[in-house]
Amino acid sequence: MTVKLKNILVGIFLVGFVGLLAAFNAAKPRVLVLHAGSEESAWVQGVDRGIDVALAGNRRPILVERHYLRLDRLARPEARVAAAAEARRAVERLDPDVLLAVDDESNEAVARAYAARGRPRIVYVSIDQPPARYGYAGMATATGIVEELPLAAVRDAVTAIRGGQAARVAAIGVDNDTGRAERSQVDAFDWSPHRLVWSEIAGDFLAWRRFVESSSAKADVLLVLSAAGLPRGPGSTETVAGSEIVPWVEAHARPVPIGLHAGYVAAGGGFAIFPAAGDYGRRAMAMALEWLDEARGPPPPPMTSAHFDVAIEPARLAARGVEVPEIYVEAARAGGRLVGPPRAVPGRATPETSRPRP
């Protein structure tokens, strides 16, 4: 066999191998995970970890890509519009079988446009608004997980912190899809024996600070809702990072602040109870995989998640003279969210300090 013939045969083999590989990849089901936030967000990282847990148990060949709208970094309307357009191009390029859309903003800006097209099928994740808001009601092409803030757990924590005494509760969030929906949940919840005296959504950091300062005379507890994407001032194109917002709240709020989002304590807060991002990610990807296995069947039924996480920085609570029951400290420790030296417990050796997951 001549060298030339060998080279021809090798070339044919390589071309055939590449063709088979391309056909194999093209035949694999495709899932696009669309995040409203950025890769640095504690919530986004938690959802991604849950997705990875579900994928680790999957044995079916599947292609998964992730796209981040990064709306928590963008204040300018034109920048947010451009981010949504880029995400739609990612959908068109990958042509996924399932679009896993995380948070209200990704469903509002991108996913809802595909609800009536039949493809991709949509798994919405941690939306605070009703699915009907995005045209998903009664659609065989959409299912998912509606987010419920763990308000019953927060109410119990307020009772524990106050030693059983009734508290006046205030709540502050940001004026966007998520913030408005979170405020609605807080307003509709039965807080008894406590009383919700004031809730507000701020359009910018100046309004946020005014509310926090004004709450001092009216409330005993301040619920800090999501602040992602909060503009620095009226008409500002700059957003304020949680690492600036949370320490300011802790320094200036007279009521005891309780965070209701994943990054609150890591950003400088003392105590937080919030939806379990990992559980949302794991359940959502499990739904997507089930739907892929039953391609011609109905979608998995929609669900909610009752799981929540706890984060604590004992030194910040001690500085306020606030003491939480040991069960909350243990919950934070078990979840890797006990920050700084834990509170000493009589008769027990102090365990090694844990830190939030990176």
- Which of these three, 256, 287, 304, is where a domain ends? 304
Q: What pLDDT is attached to residue 295?
A: 67
Same domain, 219 and 323: yes
Answer yes or no: is 347 within a domain. Answer: no
Instruction: Please tell me whether residue 76 adopts helix, strand or coil conformation.
Output: coil
In tens, the pLDDT along 286-298 reads: 999 999 987 667 8
Answer yes or no: is 341 within a domain. Answer: no
Answer yes or no: is 340 within a domain. Answer: no
Tokens of 122: 């949509």
Answer yes or no: is 346 within a domain. Answer: no
* pLDDT at position 357 over 60: no
Instruction: Please tell me whether residue 170 adopts helix, strand or coil conformation.
Output: strand
Same domain, 294 and 313: no
Q: Report the alpha-carbon distance of residue 208 to residue 260 in Å, rounded.
A: 16
Q: Which residues contact 77 (CB under 8 A, 6 or more apart)?
A: none
Q: What pLDDT is attached to residue 351?
A: 38
Same domain, 296 and 265: no
Same domain, 288 and 229: no
Same domain, 138 and 286: yes
Q: State the chain's mean pLDDT as an integer.
A: 88
Q: In this structure, are residues 269 and 259 in contact, taking their beta carbons and an 8 Å threshold? A: yes
Nearest to 37 by CA among 79, 71, 87: 71
Tokens of 47: 């959802």
Nearest to 231 by CA among 125, 58, 79: 79
In tens, the pLDDT along 27-40 reads: 699 999 999 999 99
Same domain, 330 and 213: yes
Answer yes or no: is 343 within a domain. Answer: no
Question: Quick one: 10 exposed, middle or buried, by C-beta within 10 A (0-12, 13-18, 19+)?
Answer: exposed
Tally of domains within the chain: 2
Same domain, 88 and 221: no
Q: What pLDDT is attached to residue 75?
A: 84
In tens, the pLDDT along 155-191 reads: 999 999 999 999 999 999 999 888 999 999 999 999 9
Tokens of 206: 């100046």
Tokens of 60: 């079916």
Return the percentage of the chain with pLDDT > 70, whole number: 87
**What is the C-alpha radius of gyration for the chain, rounded to an integer number of angstroms?**
24
* pLDDT at position 273 over 60: yes
Answer yes or no: is 349 within a domain. Answer: no
For residue 87, which phi and psi values (nearest 5 degrees)? Answer: -65, -40
| CA dihedral over 214, 217, 219, 222, signed as positive or negative | positive
Q: In this structure, are residues 342 and 313 in contact, taking their beta carbons and an 8 Å threshold? A: no
Q: What pLDDT is attached to residue 322?
A: 94
Average pLDDT over residues 56-67: 95
* pLDDT at position 283 over 90: yes
In tens, the pLDDT along 109-158 reads: 999 999 989 899 999 999 999 999 999 998 999 999 999 999 999 999 99
Answer yes or no: is 54 within a domain. Answer: yes
In tens, the pLDDT along 69-98 reads: 999 988 888 999 999 999 999 999 999 999
My answer on whether omega of the bond before 120 falls inside 30° of 0, hence cis, is yes
Amino acid at 26: A
CATH classification at residue 281: 3.40.50.2300
Same domain, 86 and 190: no
Same domain, 97 and 194: no
Tokens of 266: 């890591």
Q: Which residues contact 243 (CB under 8 A, 6 or more apart)?
A: 267, 268
Answer yes or no: is 353 within a domain. Answer: no
Average pLDDT over residues 257-282: 96
Domain range for 124 is 3-148+277-304
Same domain, 164 and 295: no
Average pLDDT over residues 323-349: 76
Nearest to 341 by CA among 358, 317, 308, 322: 317
* pLDDT at position 215 over 50: yes
Same domain, 131 and 185: no
Q: What pLDDT is attached to residue 350?
A: 41
Nearest to 154 by CA among 66, 67, 230, 260: 260
Q: In this structure, are residues 134 and 127 in contact, taking their beta carbons and an 8 Å threshold? A: yes
Same domain, 181 and 324: yes
* Secondary-structure breakdown of the chain: helix, strand, coil percentages, each rounded to the nearest 5: 45, 20, 40
Beta strands in 203-282 (DSSP E): 221-224, 256-259, 271-275
